[in-house]
Structures are given as C-alpha cells and as structure tokens.
Amino acid sequence: MSNLPKIAWIGLGIMGSPMAENLIKAGYAVTGYTLEADKLERLAKNGGTAAGSIAEAVADADVVITMVPASPHVEAIAYGPDGILDNAKAGALLIDMSSITPQTSIDLAKAAGDKGIRVLDAPVSGGEAGAVEAVLSIMAGGEQADFDAARPILEALGKTIVLCGPHGSGQTVKAANQLIVAVNIQACAEAVVFLEKSGVDLAAALDVLNGGLAGSTVLTRKKDNFLTRDFKPGFRIDLHHKDMGIVTDAARTVGAALPVGAVVANLVASLRAQGDGGLDHSALLRGVERLSGHNIEG
C-alpha cells in the first residue's frame, strides 16, 4: 500500500494528460476528471482512475491538481455545489497549475482557506514537450509549508521549481514568462522571413544563431516548426492571446509600460482574428509572412 498522497487531477488537455501520467509513473494514485471521454480513457489506459464528476474525483484526495485553460474555467470547477471546494476534504491541498489572472488565484486561496483547504498557484512553462518530458518550469505562489509539502509531487512534473511569493505570485511570474515567450517567437518569426527572403539556407542559419547570444529555448523548441511550417498545437494561439491579455492588464494595474509587449499582443490578437487561434504559437510566423506578401494557404 503506497504512503504517497492520493491525487485528483482535473483537466486532461494537451499538457494535463502527460503531466498526470508522469505522476502515475512516479507511483502516485491519480483519479482524474475532464469533459472529454477519450481523455478519461487515456488516463485509465495509463494506470489512472477515471471519475464521473469533480465531486467523485476529489472526495478522497489528499491533493487536488487543476490544469484548465483560463480563469472562468478555474472558477467553474472550484466553486458551487459540484465544485472542488464543496467536495474536497478539509486539509486537502489544491494546486492550481492553470495560467490565470493573479487576482483569481488570490480570491481562490481565500475562499478555499474558509473551507480549510490549502492552495498553491503553480503555473508552468515548457509547453507540451516539457510536460511529456517532465522538465517543466514551475512558478508557485502561496505558503512555504504548502510549497514544501507539494515539492515531491512537483518534482515528478518539472525541473525548475520555485516559490515566487504569496498567493498570486506564481501567476504574475507566468504572465511575465508569456510576455517573454511571445516577443521571442515574434522575433524568431521575423528573422525566419528575413533570412528566407535573403536567400540564406534557413536550417543552417537557425543552427548558428541558436549557438550564440541569439539562442534560446524558444528557438530550440520551435525551430522545426519554423522549418516545416508544422503548427500542430503544443500551445495554442488562443491561449497565448488570453495570457497576453493577463500580462497587459496586470502591467497596467501596477503602472509598468510594455511597449514591445503591447505590439506583440496585437499581433497575437490579429493572428487569432485571421482564424489561426487553434494553431501553435509558433504560427506567429504566418502573420509575418502575410505582412511580407506571402500567399498563406489554409
């Protein structure tokens, strides 16, 4: 009989499914719930237990982990008679790994505390590949004792795991992360179009660029996307659009100017408006190609 805490996992999407499976591989008993039946079948096939509702999933859990798209989804699964807070046991630890507004995390921590449930906001960076490989960067907000309790679980999911401050701090750092990633992808996309129009061997150019100061995790992870124009979503433009809204709103609240970030946020929004919201965020290349006079199909 395992002495490891029992885990409920809510949200089995592109990142949630491999993350839950990594916990199963690490020896944890994971009961999951999501809206898609095929994702529940995948969890069961990989050694987890499929639940028929949130209430069923969390009832006996020591730790509840949520990984859903945005603040409204977190609120929908957390609150109300069928939600986490009304059905999880007192003393349980709720780790929300979604990327949401800092204020949503602060409000959730307060509401959960009133029910005797501890909370960490712990959004991640690394995309689908990082989730599969269990090398995510995890930025947490909350109490030190709760972070210490969660660390063994988080270590099965990621490599860089840091408590950034009180509730909401993890989400603030994640917003900054998404700002950096979007600007980096946009710069790479512009370089790709510039290089190709100049007649340079693109693969060779990206290799040498990635070996110098221009190198980045973004270029390492997205180089093949740029070379092959394969924009199968690892992280969708729709979600990055949401995140750019979070960072621009939060920056306005604290009085931080984001001149480049604001431009890139508009470019992400434009790409989404052109019907590319379901593509990987490396599809920012398509926006640069359109502006450069390329005839983009699809």
One DSSP character per residue, 82-117 reads TSHHHHSPTT-EEEE-S---HHHHHHHHHHHHTTT-
Confirm if 57 and 51 have CB atoms less than 8 A apart. Answer: yes
- Regarding whether 177 and 113 lie in a shared domain, the answer is no
Cα torsion 10, 2, 91, 13 to 10°: value is: -10
298 in any annotated domain: no
Contacts for 50-53: CB closer than 8 Å, 24+ residues apart: 51/8, 53/82
Catalytic annotation, pick one of 174, 222, 223, 242: 174
pLDDT tens, the chain, 298 aa long: 469 999 999 999 999 999 999 999 999 999 999 999 999 999 999 999 999 999 999 999 999 999 999 999 999 999 999 999 999 999 999 999 999 999 999 999 999 999 999 999 999 999 899 999 999 999 999 999 999 999 999 999 999 999 999 999 999 999 999 999 999 999 999 999 999 999 999 999 999 999 999 999 999 999 999 999 999 998 999 999 999 999 999 999 999 999 999 999 999 999 999 999 999 999 999 999 999 998 776 5
Question: Would you state the pLDDT for residue 130?
Answer: 94
Where among 142, 165, 188 does a domain terminate?
165
Where among 165, 186, 210 does a domain terminate?
165
CA pair distance 152, 125, nearest whole angstrom: 18
Say whether 242 is catalytic. no
3-state helix, strand, coil in the chain (%, to 5): 55, 15, 30
Question: Would you state the pLDDT for residue 294?
Answer: 87
Q: Per the structure, how many domains does the chain have?
A: 2
Q: Which residues pair with 212 in a beta bridge?
A: none
- Regarding whether 212 and 74 lie in a shared domain, the answer is no
CATH number at 137 reads 3.40.50.720
- Regarding whether 152 and 184 lie in a shared domain, the answer is no
Q: If you count them, how many residues does the chain have?
A: 298
- Regarding whether 159 and 177 lie in a shared domain, the answer is no
- Regarding whether 265 and 157 lie in a shared domain, the answer is no
Query: Can you read off the two tokens belonging to residue 28?
Result: 């944890």
- Regarding whether 122 and 29 lie in a shared domain, the answer is yes
Give the domain range for residue 268.
172-291
- CB atoms near residue 243 (< 10 Å): 25
In the chain the beta strands, taken as DSSP E runs, fall at: 7-10, 30-33, 49-50, 63-66, 93-96, 118-121, 124-125, 136-141, 158-165
- Regarding whether 283 and 186 lie in a shared domain, the answer is yes
CA pair distance 185, 181, nearest whole angstrom: 6
Question: Would you state the pLDDT for residue 296?
Answer: 74
- Regarding whether 185 and 207 lie in a shared domain, the answer is yes
Question: Would you state the pLDDT for residue 298?
Answer: 59
3-state DSSP assignment of residue 47: coil
Question: Would you state the pLDDT for residue 280?
Answer: 97
Question: Would you state the pLDDT for residue 2?
Answer: 67
CA pair distance 269, 224, nearest whole angstrom: 24
Look-up of token digits 């898609």 = 36
110 in any annotated domain: yes
- Regarding whether 137 and 40 lie in a shared domain, the answer is yes
Q: Name the nearest CA neighbour of 224 among 181, 188, 183.
A: 188
Half-sphere exposure of 5 (CA within 13 A, CB side): 19
CA pair distance 231, 229, nearest whole angstrom: 6
CA pair distance 167, 158, nearest whole angstrom: 20
pTM, to two decimals: 0.92
- Regarding whether 24 and 144 lie in a shared domain, the answer is yes
Query: Can you read off the two tokens belonging to residue 63?
Result: 């730790």
115 in any annotated domain: yes
- Regarding whether 29 and 156 lie in a shared domain, the answer is yes
